[in-house]
Amino acid sequence: MTAWRRDLHAHPELGFEETRTAAFVAAELRAAGIAVEEGLAVTGVVGTLQGRPGNRAVALRADMDALAMTEATGAAYSSITPGKMHACGHDGHTAMLLGAAKWLASHPDRFAGTVHFIFQPAEESRGGGQRMVEEGLFQRFPADAVYALHNLPGLPLGTIAVPKGPVLASSDTWQVVFRGRGTHGAKPHLGSDATLAAAQFIAALQTIVARDLDPMGVGVVSVGHMAAGNPAAPNVIPAEVLLRGTARALTADTRDLLEARIGAIAQGMAATHGVAADYLYTRRLSPTVNHTAQAALMHRAAGATVGAERALDDYPPITAGEDFSAMLEARPGAYAWLGTGAPAHPEGFHHNPHFDFNDAALATGAAFLASIVEAELPA
C-alpha cells in the first residue's frame, strides 16, 4: 500500500482527469480477481466482489483526485506535475481501499454477500459524487449501505472517530453584484455608490450568524472575492461591485436561513444606497450527516480495529464540505475520520503545499474498511 500510495502521490490528477489513477486502480482490482466497471462519471471505477452466499450488499468509497497546487514537501515521491498535488490524502484513501479490496478478495469466506468498491473522481469541488449517483451508481451497483473514511491530521495515529450525526457542513457559493451609477471620485453626489453598499453589506453579513442563527447552531458566511473599478483609475467611483463567497451549514434549516438572509441583506443595502443588487445562491454540497444505525455499526468496526478506547463516537463536526453527502442522501451510510497523527511539517494540514499522507495509517485504514464489510455482511 505504501508503494501504491507513493506512486499515486507522484502522479496527481485533477477531477474528471484521473485516467492514469483509474487505470492503476482497475488493473490492481482485476489482478485480485475482482470484477471491474470503468467510466462511471468519466473516470470512476467500481469493483465488485462476491463473498459467501448472501442477499445483502455494501459499498465502500474512496476519492481519487488531487488539487491544483504546487507541492512543497520535498519528498522523494513528490508530484512530477507542477501545479498539481495530492494535498488532501486521496492518494492514501485510494491505496487503503485497494488494500481492503485485495484482502477481502483473498478471504471471501469472511463475509456473506456482495461488496462494491467505489473509486470516485472529482471530489474536490467538481461534483464527482453527485455525478456518480446521477449516472445510476446505486442502480447498477445496489447497496444496502455505503461507507467512507477520510484522513485527519491532528487526530492521534491509530484513532478512528465516527460522529453520531453531522460530520461536515454544506458547501454553497453565493454572488452579489451591486449596480449603481459611476462618477468622478470628487463628485460623488452625481452618482450612486455601489462600493459603499458593498462595504456595508460585507459588514452586515456577519449579523446572520451573530443574530439570525440560533446560538447553538453552526453557520459560516465568508466573502472570498471582490472586484470593482480599475486600479489605474482610483479617482473614479465604479458603477459595479462584484462579491462572491461561501456559506456553510450543518442542517437544512440553517442552510435555508443563510440563503434567504444573504439575499435580503443585499437587497436592503442596495435600497438604502439607491443602487440595484443581483443575487445568486448556488447549492453545491449538502451537509454530510451520518445515519444512526450505520454510524453505530461503523463505530463497532472501529473498535474491532483499533480497540474501544481509540474508537470515538463524539467527534465534533467540521465546517468543510464533502460530496460523499450525495451518496448518503441516496443510501444509508456513515463517514469516519482516520487519525494520522501530527503532520510532519507544522503547516502540513489539508490543502496545504506541505501536506503529505502518513503512510503509517495505511494498514489501520484498510483493516477498518475490511472490518466494516465483516460487520455489515457477517458470514
For the annotated catalytic residues, the residue numbers are 65, 123
Who's near 16: CB < 8 A, 6+ residues apart?
41, 42, 43, 65, 121, 122, 126, 128
Which grid cell is 57? 450488499
Residues in the chain: 379
- CB count within 10 Å of CB 192 equals 21
Which grid cell is 6? 507513493
